[in-house]
Chain A
Amino acid sequence: MAQDSYLNAGRRAVIEEMTRDESIWALGEDLGRGGVFGQYKGLQEIFGAARICDTPISEACIMGAAVGAAMTGTRPIVEMRFSDFALCAVDELVNQAAKARYMFGGQMRVPMVVREPIGIWRSSAAQHSQSLESWYTHIPGLVVVAPATPADNLGLLKSAIRCDDPVVYMEHKNLWALEGEVPEGEHLVDLGRADIARAGDAVTIVTWSAMRHACLRAAETLATQGIEVEVIDLRTLWPWDRDAVLASVRRTGRLLVVHEAVAVSGFGAEIAASVAEALHHDLKAPVRRLGAPRIPIAYAPPLEDRARVSDGAIIDAVQGLVAPRTAA
């Protein structure tokens, strides 16, 4: 194990995979200078300008070209800078990449990874802060991944690149500098497998991306109050690790889902509903979910903070779940 950053782990994943398989290439704006956050720093020097490909500011064509290039035997990594800008290429992703394999009767596949960073990043305002993962979980044909740690960014990105279906790969902008233990040898993390980030028996928290860290902080505080929380980081949202979640909630009888995205129609709703359907008789309290209120993200810190799920809100929600219920 060695310490590395979340950003560097993603960079290493691309280097290792591109070294292993010559059909892999990356395309996006400014990649030759390292990409907007430095995720591609030095890669053009290693792999050349054909495989680390600078593009015009043409999101629709970047995505559409990747679909075509994936159909003709290459494995493109698409860089969209921000999930917000990927909206300029939604037709190419949702109507084309996601549908082609099925619509054309399984004649081919579209092996591409679409990196589109999400999340609040201090004072980036309404068009550079969104967490749009639930949009893509709704689309048959797409895999959706949201890593939270450096090791997972390495292992999941490598698996995403090896996946034969289109993967929407959502790193969190606020995690780029996060340091953590990263295995030195070959490290793959299976798509669709959750990580039990902390074991506990009182309440199950299901979360992903940057909220994993908020939940773990809240769990520390709750432990000092004698409440042992199990924190499950889903890591992959589609397909999500239903078995891990159901097994945990069966033990704890209590579920809280926490995500940074707007709560309404967030992916938390899918998990809450699935657990309520499957474990109605095991639940000791109604399921709860926490996400942002239904507001765009503002620039000024006091307004922006209103869209953040705070550690305090998580603690309150857990305390509410374990509090003895008063008779109705």
Chain B
Amino acid sequence: MTQTKNIDRARFLALLRLMHRIRAFEEAAIGAQQAGLVLGAIHPSIGQEAVAAGVCTNLERADLLLSTHRGHGHTLAKGADPLAMMRELFGRAGGTCGGKGGSMHIADFGVGMLGANGVVGANIPIATGAAHGLKLQGSRQIVACIFGDGAINRGPFLEGLNWARAFDLPVLFVCEDNGFSATTRTATMTGGAGAGARAESIGIPALEVDGNDLPELDAAARGAIAEIRAGKGPVLLHAKTYRITGHTAVDPATYRPAEEVAAQRAKCPIARMEALLALAGVEAETLAQLASEAAEEMTAIAAKAEATGWPDAARAFADVQDIGDPRERAF
């Protein structure tokens, strides 16, 4: 656990601000869903913000990222515009995907974010292939692929990791381990020692980190990315964290005791980063201001999204494929 006064104050203030923005974005989205403005499911990452911040801050803009159904934080941290993201959640014009995808399918290729995914584990082979493509082209870019602890029980996890090792591909696999696979405790359904041990069994170095300890995560991600960029092939980062909300924003998560959640809430990465920065001499007022600014920013963004019109219905027929009429048998 990081416990030092000698941290890079400017860097971690910026990362704390990013974590606040991620949390505020999701809190605004949850509020909007309760108000009937976000119609589809949302999977909040509240309590897991350090993984997004610590990994993405070490990526270059040109690097690529693949995410999951729980991807708002990753996407924001990779540099996507929160207003476009919020419009996507509202299904409005100007959304990241023009309102076609919603929360579970946000992608912003302009910032190297190659997509959240509605299918658990499906991003792993795609990330592997993206890295394969980059390697074929002699690029110095790398790919980061974030997935949950539940995803390691799907076949594509094994296939993707083996492939990445066999071809020595530039990919950082990040297992964002929040302890749950939807409503099931992942440990009850997982053999062996988990993601890291599985990676090592096929020759991929694995780093275990406290996913709520941002300085630790930041250092581990930086080191791993440097190795990958130097051509040493894939690395797996296993970040242990905790999902404070339910699986979706409407899941009351009654399958776990309230005391467990309360204890975890106290250890959330934002609280811990604030404590560290306070130790390093940052004023309480400065810290409080970061939180309130983020909340204001995202409340305003949600209001703007609400004021945006719907996409033109004719767009339903756009971008299906180049040949063949998508209106075939439309009425």
Binding site for B on A (CB under 8 A): 29-30, 32-33, 36, 54-61, 84-85, 88, 122-128, 263-264, 289-291, 293-296, 298-307, 309, 313, 316-317
Contacts and interface: CB of A to CB of B under 8 A. Distances in A.
Interface in B258-311: 310-311
The prevalent SS among residues of B at the interface is loop
B76 to A, nearest CB: 19
Given A57-B154, A88-B119, A306-B313, A296 B320 contact: yes
Interface string B171-186: 0000000000111100
Given A124-B40, A127-B104, A263-B328, A57 B121 contact: yes
Contact of B184 (A30, A122, A126, A300): A30
B330 A293 contact: yes
The prevalent SS among residues of A at the interface is loop
A59 B88 CA distance: 29
A109 to B, nearest CB: 27
A58 B99 contact: no
Interface of B: 39-41, 88, 91-92, 95, 97-102, 104-105, 117-121, 150-151, 153-155, 181-184, 188-190, 255, 310-313, 315-317, 320, 324-331
A263 B190 CA distance: 42
A125 B324 CA distance: 22
B153 A56 contact: yes
B117 to A, nearest CB: 8
Contact of A294 (B98, B150, B320): B320
B119 A57 contact: no
Given A303-B100, A306-B313, A54 B328 contact: no
Instruction: In the A-B complex, list the 6 residue pairs whose CB atoms are closest, starting with the nearest.
Output: A300-B99, A300-B91, A299-B102, A127-B118, A293-B330, A306-B316
B331 A306 contact: no
Contact of A316 (B183, B312, B313, B331): B331
Nearest to A57: B150
B182 A58 contact: no
Contacts of A293: 316-317, 326-331
Contacts of B40: 122-125, 299
